[in-house]
Structure 1
């Protein structure tokens, strides 16, 4: 992956700079990161170079150790306060960051616009956003930038990119502005503030570290427990899009098959010849010769030609009529029993008397029809 190779070479450059100032531990850390991204012969050569330098320095230190320890002991005994002060000054003066890094971190933390965080214009394209994020993410990653507040700045860069790279979120931000701006000094008593809302790791589907790992091809898993929110505008990175597309199509195939079956079924199933109740299509009223049951047919309905066919047709009308009465009777009985049960539970005599007065007309019709009445 070309992005991994570029990042790996960048870490090797940082390792060489650390070797020049004899910061071997930091150099080894950068070399290991480079090897994880894209193994190269240069990384192995630098490790060998550090190993040789370390062994040579160890031998020199052993020969010089006895004399330096005794002199330091005497000096500390005679002037303990001065020695302690000088040691403290030395330790605080050797920082792993520069004043330029401190100023850059401060600028990102106190800015008032997401476009300013990434250093792009409001008309920046998707490619411009990715290019700006790639540069800033490598520059302010906590493993590289040790300036105070670098972690917050790194998170701000990731959140700014996640919002502006999503078309819907970017549209909302451009429209409402202040409501979408991050606030990096919540609860502080002084200093500059930005916007109204602070974007934390829990406010989005990906943390700044996860965005960095996905963008630069890392396979590490975040240690934090995330809360996944289902949102139609969730920010995604797509890698290996052909494989993802095939996987998605494979999952959708069963649903597409069922959808096609249902569509085909609508063409195969014909409409009924009659309805027991009047509708927009069934407007012509007819009655069966037996029992005089009313039903409705379409205006273009053609009655069966023979008595046998007409008997079968009207028999289906009667069966439908009985089934409909049975359903209505069941609902009426359930409603009455439910009302009686509530009256008994509430000890409400008035409701109980009202429930007893309820009639079941469909049941009455069904009984009359069964008796031939």
Structure 2
């Protein structure tokens, strides 16, 4: 943005020069350009000033004969259904190398500033408002930018890796924005979310069979309403199905599954502490264990030890995974203190498992 500010100031200086020369047209042209690059109150005041100026008197009174080249230029201008300002805006976006530059914001811009910049550009680039070649691609690029930068996780990843991956490649007259981070929704879906369905009576672009097709916003709304109504019943059933299965399984378990003979954790149902003969592993049984349990205590304690060892293995794996992830994070951010702390993370379950194996 600072580069745009300097260029805007140069345009204002040129405009002031032409105002002194009473050249209203050129002064107005440079002031409009300054406003596009970096809006300022000074440019607005000068525009008001030249609106009060008399028309240029430097125009010749006698009509000049138009050359063939001039006539072709006039014909071309008449055939265009877009303005020079729209064309300049599309060209600017095609030259941008990252999402912040596309939206014309700084990297520390707030969420509201991002959305404000998007709304301005989206209205300017929408295919129903801007017929300039390349406007559709620019509109999609603006949509991608706001979708990524308003998502906290995607924006964090983009700030870390996006600058090295951003590329804008040209194939013939088609420009493709190839970045490592893309929007989950289409550019038109994002536009509809921000503007409540787009322009009244306008066309909305939808993707069908790999191609973009126009569809009126009213037809699209009706189509989506019908789809939602058809899916409501099936979706409701899918959502409630896990709850029904859980209830059925709970009821079945109460009939066919009895309580286990022991627990590795003390509770009101298992208050009595015991230890295995081999590895001295603590476990808990019911108060009536001696009367109720009819099996082999030796085999039971073997099961206790196997269960205990498996529990330690799982806990050890989680502790190692956490430690490795913290070490990787510290290396990635180049944080020496974080790396030192990660190296000193204790692995209590792994230590207990090692002590058991040493017996």
- Tell me the TM-score range normalised by the shorter chain: 0.3 to 0.5
TM-score (norm 1): 0.39
Q: Which has the higher strand share?
A: 2
Query: Which structure exhibits the higher relative contact order, with contacts defined as CA atoms closer than 8 Å and separated by 6 or more residues?
Result: 1
